Amino acid sequence: MMDVIPTQFEVLDERFARVAGDDVVERLYTGTRWAEGPVYFPAGRFLVWSDIPNDRMLRWDEFTGAVGPFRTPSGYTNGNTLDREGRLISCEQGNRRVTRTEHDGSITVLADRWQGRRLNSPNDAVVRSDGSVWFTDPSYGISSDYEGVRAEQEIDGCHVYRIDPVTGEARVVADDFERPNGLAFSLDERLLYVADTRRRHIRVFEVTGDGTLGKGRIFAEGAAGEAYDGMRLDDTGRLWAAAGRSVHCYDPDGTLIGRLCLPDNIANLVFGGLKRNRLFVAASTSLYSIMLNVTGARPVWA
């Protein structure tokens, strides 16, 4: 029998009233220690996600519902995404690097150092349509052996970086975060949203023509117990963000218009399925899924 829980939407603004979907949320898998980084592969109709403390990545098959290992050990991989060619981009906390898995299965290191010093522990990544890879680099993977390998921090701070698609150089684009985490581009890629988990807020920055960031401003602030993590946009420009035990939905003007509530602490999410209207949520010990009348933003390879 399918493991399901009743769907619980909270409508906080009339703009969320038309959001609907299945009456139940499916629990596709349970048994992880800290689920993270879901990424959907449309060509193969499967989803990959991370189980950080267990140093593994898992694969869920959309046709059969079967779950099996994708990569173990995984370098304590956290966030994942796809580039313009459908290749897997991963943030390996334990190996302190950002990698790309090629179509033949080999792994290319995109970034592991900045100015000769090792990165802290890359957390989440997003790819822009120009091919640049942007990632956050907090210190969760080196602060203990739970999510990585305890080590000394070589860089003075936790920053946001951009990897140039031509030169491969990693450059700091924002250096005033405590624990930068999830990030996402607006539909026109003129804005970059970045969560700061420790400060419990999301900031938004203007992206300039030369790939740098303008001055940021607070986009959203969480209440106690609502530290922000991963984020995705739908095709109307609304921002869906993991925060505590709910997925928050924000209008582009910054208004919190609604929530999807779940029984576990949520780490990250992604839209997938044939029409990008199936929301997958990685939360604590489980992977959840719900079909919505909302469609995810068009990916960079589409």
Binding residues: 36, 123, 147, 181, 229
Active-site residue, selected from the candidate residues 51, 196, 229, 234: 229
Dihedral, CA of residue 276, residue 219, residue 242 and residue 224, to nearest 10: -160
Residues recorded for the chain: 302
Q: Which residues are annotated as a binding site for substrate?
A: 123, 147
Nearest to 256 by CA among 218, 221, 216: 221
As a whole number of angstroms, the distance between CA 71 and CA 77 comes to 10
Residue 253 annotated among the catalytic residues of the structure: no
Sheet holding 286-291, edge to edge: 4-6, 24-30, 286-291, 278-283, 266-272
Q: Which residues are annotated as a binding site for a divalent metal cation?
A: 36, 181, 229
As a whole number of angstroms, the distance between CA 109 and CA 101 comes to 9
As a whole number of angstroms, the distance between CA 71 and CA 69 comes to 6
Q: Any idea which residues carry the catalytic annotation?
A: 229
